[in-house]
Each structure stands twice: as C-alpha cells, then as structure tokens.
Structure 1
Amino acid sequence: MAEEVKVLRTWSSPFALRIVWALKLKGVEYETILEDLSSKSPLLVQYNPVYKKVPVLVHNGKAMAESLLILEYIDETWKQKYPLLPEDPYERARARFWAKFSDDKVLPSIWDAFTTQGKEQEEAIMPVMENLKLLEEELRGKKFFSGETIGFLDLALGWLANLVSMFEEITGLKMIDEETFPLLVAWIHDFSHVPLIQETWPPRDRMLTKFRAMREPYLAAARNHLPK
C-alpha cells in the first residue's frame, strides 16, 4: 500500500519550507496543498483545529502540526533515509535546544529590528547581535550546524539564509556581515547553494513586496504615537 503524504503550506512560509526540505532530503514523495491564510480552507481547519495555521503534515490520514515537531516525526518515520538528528542523545538534545532558540529568540529579535526604525531600531538590534554571536559560536569548527552535512538544526535555521538578506534590503540595516559573523556568512552561502535548497526558495520579488507591506503597519503605528 502506497503511503499518502500531504503538506499544507503557503507559498511564502519559511516554517513550511522546513518540511519540504526534510521530505526532499529523505526522498519522500508528497502532495503540496497551498493555503490562503486570509481565507482558511475547511481542510486546514480540520487538520489543525487548534492553531489553524501552516504547515501541516498529513501522513496516511493522520495530521501533524508545528514545524519542529513535524521535522522530528519525519525523521523518526523514515529513519533509514538521511537521518536529520544525531544518534547521540546529548547531541540530539542540543540540536533541539538550538532549534527552539531559533524560534523563541533569534527570529523574534530580528523581526523587532525589522519592524522598527530610528532609536527603537538601534535598541532592537542589540539582542539580534547577541543572538547571532551565539549562533556564530555554535558553528565553530563546522561547515553546517549539524556537521559536514545538512541536518535538523540547519533546516530549523534555514529561514535565516533567506529572510535576513531581504530584511536588510528593505531596511538598509546590515545584520550579518562577513567581518562580524564570518561563519554565519559562509553557512548562509553553503546552505543556500545546495541544489535541493536553492530550487525551493520562494520568488524573491514577491517576498520583498510581501514583507514591505507587512512592515508598514508597524511603522505607521509608531508614527501615530509620536508627539504632535
């Protein structure tokens, strides 16, 4: 009996890309179902009734939400094909820790810097630099976060290789430069140019348009709070 694998995602979701990459690395065939989150489909609500967001993995009729949990599910379900997590329990725990750090600390701090300007942005960039220094140190002595090949943590941090350069282009604020973060710059280059990764990036022009539009309400709200 053939396995049925579906991925509910949007065209631009960096979290959904984690799932796409994992399935491709493992050679698992899947069907993509593109969602419009401004008009959520009954299927999305059925499969993720709690959060009603993407990504959702549906494997033989069973649904799984939350991208990091989905990555672990994929790794455990298709164990013999390209392991994503290390075998060593300590190293597995470390990979999970840094992946959570990515979602809980790194991404929110970068978003704060992206959606502010002036003095607020100067203050917001400080935790970004602190978080990136920790990632730089984690890369020391390695090509990828997982070692010599792409693994769980690289997929978890994959958004960094795509979104940061767009945020920099939109704001004019440099977050990752070769002098301060040489290892991160090298990782971004190496990760982005893996053919499997490179072919899945969303169209850059559409992404820039989307994030410019997303940023504007934050800036407008800040302007409205300025003293008259």
Structure 2
Amino acid sequence: MVAEEKVKLYGMWASPAVRRVEWALKMKGIEYEYIEEDLSNKSPSLLKYNPINKQVPVLVHGEFKPVVESLVIIEYIDEIWKHKPLLPTDPYERARARFWAIFAEDKCRDASRKAFFSEGEERKKGIENLEVTLRALDQELEGKRFFGGDEIGFTDLALGWMAFWLGIAEEIGGFKVVNAKKFTWFSSWIDNFLKDPVIKDNLPPLDKTLEFFRNYRKIQLAATNK
C-alpha cells in the first residue's frame, strides 16, 4: 500500500517550515527518517529531489516520490494518511483553512521579515504591518482555542512558526508586537499551541535558535548595507 512506503524528510533544524512538516508527521504517528541538510553545502540527494529551488523541506515517499513546499507536503500527508485529519472535511471550512495559511505565508511572513531584517523606516513599516496581520488573526481566533476549534489542525501548523519564531525575532530585533492585552486571542493561541505535547517536544533548543538567528540577522543586515 502507498501509505506503508518509507518516508524520508530532508530538513534543517532551525527551519520553521521543516518543523511544521515534522509536527504533521508526528501528530499522525507516521514513522520517517530525518536527514539534516547543511544548506551551505547541499547534498546530492537534496539537489536531486528538489532541483527547482534546492531548499528544504523535502518529503520523499517511497523510492522516488519527492514532495516540496511545506504546506503542499502537509496536504499530501493528510491525503495519504487519512486518520487524524488536519484539514476540515467541510469544503467551505477547508477553503477557509487554506486562506489563513496563505495569508500567513504572504502577509505575516513578509511583515515579520521586514521587522526583523530591515532598519529605519522600512523596519517601522514592517512592525506596523505585522500588527495589522495579528489583529486579523486575533479576530479569527475569537472564542476558539485553535483556528479549527478545539484541536490543532492545518491552519495552526501553517501559522505555528509565529508561536515560537516570532518571539525569537522580537528578542533579537528589539521590538514587541505580541501583546496579551492588545491581541488576547492570538496570545492565548500561542500558549495553547506551545503546550501541546507534540509541539512542545519538537521545537528547536531556544538558546541555539537565538544564537543562529542572531548571527543570521547580522549577516543579512551587513549584506543589505554594503
């Protein structure tokens, strides 16, 4: 059977996109082999399985079935292993889940990157845009533990990077947007998400992550200011 074929995941420990795929696999109890990639010296296997953008994550299912892009991978996982569904069964609710995932990938990530990697007026604008996106997410979460209700689903995994990595960006970047008084429901969602055993047990070490992104930010700012 297709679902019983071996699964490999090519990733990089600090990548939020890789972690969200791991969360999906672990929530469904799927056994997989994890292969850590050095993105400064990419392996022949990674280049073979993802020759288009040469990035992680890459899920390889069976002998040669590579799937790329984290949200696409999570949908693939949900379609192959149908137990504990991550996407809603109702077509309208499924469409809404995909909308918020796209919203996070587009608006939230762009604003976060500008707040973290920019300086001056562009940084200020990024922080303002990030607050706008958080307000929209806060309104969507009103009255709910998670985006889909009482359990973690597709949208939560898609936005899961904000629960952990946004705090990393705030600490290193010296700004603060996640405010429990201003964004009550979003702040509550962060707490609920990070307390889930699957999520909590599969986060990168905090100190190591802070060091990695502190150095990465310095490199990016130096390249920008050349």
Give the alignment's TM-score, normalised by structure 1: 0.93
1:33 counterpart letter in structure 2: I
Is 1:219 aligned to residue 224 of structure 2?
no
For each residue in 1:173-218, what CA deviation from the matched residue of structure 2 results, as whole angstroms up to 9, or x when unmatched?
1110101111111110110011110011111111111111121234
Deviation at 1:66, TM superposition (A): 0.6
Q: Structure 1 residues 78, 172: closer, same or farther in 2, change over 3 A?
A: same
Which of 72, 76, 81 lines up with 2:79 in the alignment? 76
Q: Secondary structure at the match of 1:94?
A: helix
Count of residue pairs the alignment pairs up: 223
Alignment-derived partner of residue 128 in structure 2: 126
- Aligned partner of 1:31 in structure 2 is 33
- Structure 1 position 129, deviation (Å): 0.8
CA contact (8 A) 2:143 2:185 kept: no
Distance in 1 between residues matched to 2:34 and 2:189, nearest whole Å? 28
- The aligned counterpart of 2:13 is 11
What are the superposed Cα offsets for residues 145-200 of structure 1, whole Å, 9 maximum, x if unpaired? 11100000000000001111111111221110101111111110110011110011
Q: AA paired with 2:106? A: D
* Distance in structure 2 (CA, Å) of the matches to 1:223 and 1:149: 44
- Indicate whether 1:193 and 2:187 are aligned: no
User: In the aligned structure 2, how far is the partner of 1:122 from the partner of 1:52?
Assistant: 32
Q: 1:47 aligns with which of 49, 52, 69?
A: 49
Is there any run of 5+ residues in structure 2 with no aligned partner, and where? Answer: none
Distance (whole Å) between structure 2 residues aligned to residue 42 and residue 134 of structure 1:
42
C-alpha distance in 2 between matches for 1:143 and 1:209:
31
Residue 67 of structure 1 corresponds to which residue in structure 2? 70
Runs of 4 or more consecutive aligned structure 1 residues displaced over 6 Å after TM superposition: none
* Structure 1 unmatched runs, 5+: none
**Matches of 1:197 and 1:222, distance apart in 2:** 34
Please say which of residues 150-159 and 107-116 is displaced more in the overlay: 107-116
Taking the TM superposition and a 5 Å limit, the aligned residue runs for 1:126-165 are: 126-165=128-167
> What is the RMSD of the two structures over their aligned residues, measured on CA atoms?
1.4
Q: Which residue number in structure 2 is paired with residue 89 of structure 1?
A: 91
Q: State the alpha-carbon separation in 2 of the partners of residues 219 and 72 from structure 1.
A: 35
Residue 33 of structure 1 aligns to a residue in which SS? Answer: strand
- Return the alpha-carbon distance in structure 1 between the equivalents of residues 52 and 173 of structure 2: 34
CA contact (8 A) 1:164 1:175 kept: no
Q: Is the 8 A contact 2:114 2:122 kept in 1?
A: no
